[in-house]
Structure 1
Amino acid sequence: MKLLLPNNVMRKMRFHMLRAGRREIGGLIMGEELSEQTFRLVDFSVDSISGTRSSFVRDDKQHERALSNFFEKTGANYRRFNYLGEWHTHPSFSVHPSSQDIHAMQDLVSCSGDVNFAVLFIAKLKWYWRFEACAYLFVREHLPSPVELIHESKAFLNYGIK
């Protein structure tokens, strides 16, 4: 699976990360399917209040509202635009998922009849400016697999996006 990261989304995420400092923040990620197994990150929700220095658990009601607004903006075209998964920051740790992160995502895809797959996107700012991220794909009854992250400028070369 490939996930394209547009500059505007990264800038918006960086802004929230700078404001949160050493606290973990996160929410939902929403995207556009460009082709089979290739998605563009279009928007995300953010809960900048709930996190601590070492954990983040999102408030469902706040993020459900963000998802509803996303569907309204995209004309409820669920085949093209939809929920991709979850994101959060690890300002004090590596961008790789903790065992708690892995279990939470496995529970999400195993216990929800509506979610066939989910991406976990983890990011951090190194030295306050360098954006680091990784993503993993979770599918029911499968081990997590890495997602290829492609920055928007490289996406233009690879996919001819205008």
Structure 2
Amino acid sequence: MITYKNGTNNIKIFLAENLLSEVRKFCIEKDYLETGGILVGMYDPDLQSAIITKVIGPPSDSKHGRTTFVRGTKGVKKTLDILWKEGQYYIGEWHYHPKALPIASSQDIKQMKKISKSILYRCPEPVMLIVGQDNEEFIETFYVSINGSDLIEFIRA
């Protein structure tokens, strides 16, 4: 289990190595195009840590571009409803910046703040995983927006 933390509070994000490998496979499949999907999981009882239990790849109606990605919605609600009944919840989004560092863009920041405030998502602290590349090596950064605040960055502990 990989732990990610930030320097300002005790919140942590946990992600199993096999799930990170799964995300990287989606990235490799798209090569020079952006891609992404959904993070599913749960929070620990004291709500101080997010535990990611599943990654969902891009729905079939997603749009992939060299510098843009729009996650589709086909089949998402049905999948999340099934997982909800199993005690797993929408935690946030992941996406890939090919041949670029995993730094949140202004569009990423706007999206996370919007999700945080949306009653449709029911996720006031959405997590965003951005996977990028330094040379050919994958690197990742997590971000969280708490109740619409600016993003807090999380790195490997």
* TM-score bracket relative to the smaller structure: 0.7 to 0.9
1:133 pairs, out of 133, 140, 145, with 140
Structure 1 pair 63–127 and aligned structure 2 pair: CA distance change class (3 A)? farther
| 2:115–2:124 CA contact under 8 A, matched in 1 | no
Residue ranges of structure 1 left out of the alignment (5+ in a row): 151-162
Residue ranges of structure 2 left out of the alignment (5+ in a row): 1-10
2:81 pairs, out of 68, 81, 84, with 68
Aligned equivalents of 1:118, 1:7: Cα separation in 2: 21
2:130 pairs, out of 86, 107, 122, with 122
Q: Deviations over 1:82-122 (max 9, x none)?
A: 21111111113220100011111111222336222211110
What corresponds to 1:155 in structure 2?
none
Structure 1 pair 141–17 and aligned structure 2 pair: CA distance change class (3 A)? closer
Letter in 1 for 2:43: E
Q: Deviations over 1:43-96 (max 9, x none)?
A: 121117521110111112332233234334xx2x2xxx3211111111132201
Identity of aligned residues (%): 22
Shift of 1:148: 4.4
Structure 1 pair 51–82 and aligned structure 2 pair: CA distance change class (3 A)? same
Q: Which has the higher contact order (CA 8 A, sep 6+)?
A: 1
Q: Deviations over 1:2-45 (max 9, x none)?
A: 11121110111111111110111111101132353112211121
Shift of 1:126: 4.2
The answer to whether the aligner puts 1:83 opposite 2:90 as a matched pair is yes
The answer to whether the aligner puts 1:32 opposite 2:42 as a matched pair is yes
Aligned length: 143
RMSD: 2.1
TM-score scaled by length of structure 1: 0.77
Aligned equivalents of 2:27, 2:117: Cα separation in 1: 30
Q: Which aligned segments of 4 or more residues in structure 1 are displaced greater than 3 angstroms? A: 125-128
Structure 1 pair 102–141 and aligned structure 2 pair: CA distance change class (3 A)? closer
Structure 1 pair 40–141 and aligned structure 2 pair: CA distance change class (3 A)? closer
| 1:53–1:92 CA contact under 8 A, matched in 2 | no
TM-score scaled by length of structure 2: 0.79
